[in-house]
């Protein structure tokens, strides 16, 4: 009988890779996605498509009704501009959603306990450490300490790529023959990826480092595959 695992699956590159990584490890995977009012909700469409093709029982949790408690992020507030330019702290700090991963993980751990899963996976990576406090290794360590005692059944929080860069995660995914056209990274909620936000630029740099062209369509055709 396969062990069960919950995977927090946003639809982005990192969680897309984590999802397949956990599947290849032989787990029975339960994807958990969140609608938190993100402008780039296209990632949820992509995530649902992938789960359907893999015949996975995805749960999508709508937590938009708590948005009034989590103000100040350009990811959820349309009055704030999504920053363009490099993926670094001074540029991307406005995209921090207060306590987002702690909220996600708390719900994911509760879900894991209810279905008898002993692990929750999520896709933090090394490039996030300077920008997002809830992606840092010390956060994962602290969450594991809490989740070991928060229920009668301990649940481990696992971030398998927390010490890898976006480029290194892409290399792992390519070794699994993943098609990244089935992932979404852009922070702008438009039909095509903008190619100018920090998230897009980091993704494009990852593909360039592998001497590849990103398969997504971009608003600037020369930087995408079409």
pLDDT digits (tens, 9 = 90+) for 113-164: 999 999 999 999 886 666 788 889 999 999 999 999 999 999 999 999 999 9
The two tokens of residue 125 are: 């990576």
What the chain holds in terms of domains, given with CATH numbers, is: 4-178 (3.40.50.620)
Residue-wise pLDDT for 17-60, tens only, equals 999 999 999 999 999 999 999 988 999 999 999 999 999 999 99
pLDDT at 2 over 80: yes
Yes or no: say if 174 and 192 are a contact pair by the CB < 8 Å rule. Answer: no
Yes or no: say if 103 and 65 are a contact pair by the CB < 8 Å rule. Answer: no
How many Cα neighbours within 13 Å face the side chain of 77? Answer: 16
Other C-beta atoms lying within 10 Å of the C-beta of residue 191: 8
Residue-wise pLDDT for 165-212, tens only, equals 999 999 999 999 999 999 999 998 899 999 999 899 999 999 999 999
**Rounded Cα gap, residues 225 and 217, in angstroms:** 6
Model's pTM, two decimal places? Answer: 0.93
**Rounded Cα gap, residues 102 and 57, in angstroms:** 23
> 60 phi and psi, to 5 degrees?
-115, 120
**Rounded Cα gap, residues 92 and 86, in angstroms:** 8
**Rounded Cα gap, residues 110 and 5, in angstroms:** 12
């Amino acid at each position: 009988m396969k062990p069960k695992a919950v995977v927090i699956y946003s639809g982005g590159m990192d969680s897309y890779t984590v999802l397949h990584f956990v599947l290849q490890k032989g787990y029975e995977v339960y994807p958990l996605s969140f609608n938190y009012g993100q402008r780039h909700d296209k990632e949820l469409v992509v995530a649902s498509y992938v789960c359907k093709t893999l015949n996975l029982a995805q749960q999508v949790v709508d937590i938009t009704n708590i948005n009034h408690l989590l103000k100040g992020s350009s990811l959820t507030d349309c009055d704030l501009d999504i920053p363009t330019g490099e993926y670094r702290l001074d540029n991307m700090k406005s995209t921090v959603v207060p306590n987002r991963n702690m909220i996600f993980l708390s719900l994911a751990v509760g879900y894991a306990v209810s279905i008898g899963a002993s692990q929750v996976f999520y896709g933090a990576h090394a490039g996030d450490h300077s920008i997002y406090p809830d992606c840092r290794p010390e956060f994962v360590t602290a969450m594991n300490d809490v989740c070991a005692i928060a229920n009668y059944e301990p649940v481990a929080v696992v971030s398998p790529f927390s010490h890898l860069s976006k480029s290194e995660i892409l290399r792992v995914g390519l070794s699994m023959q993943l098609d990244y056209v089935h992932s979404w990274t852009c922070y702008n909620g438009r039909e095509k990826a903008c190619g100018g936000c920090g998230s897009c630029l980091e993704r494009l740099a990852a593909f360039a480092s592998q001497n590849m062209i990103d398969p997504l369509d971009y608003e600037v055709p020369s930087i995408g595959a079409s």
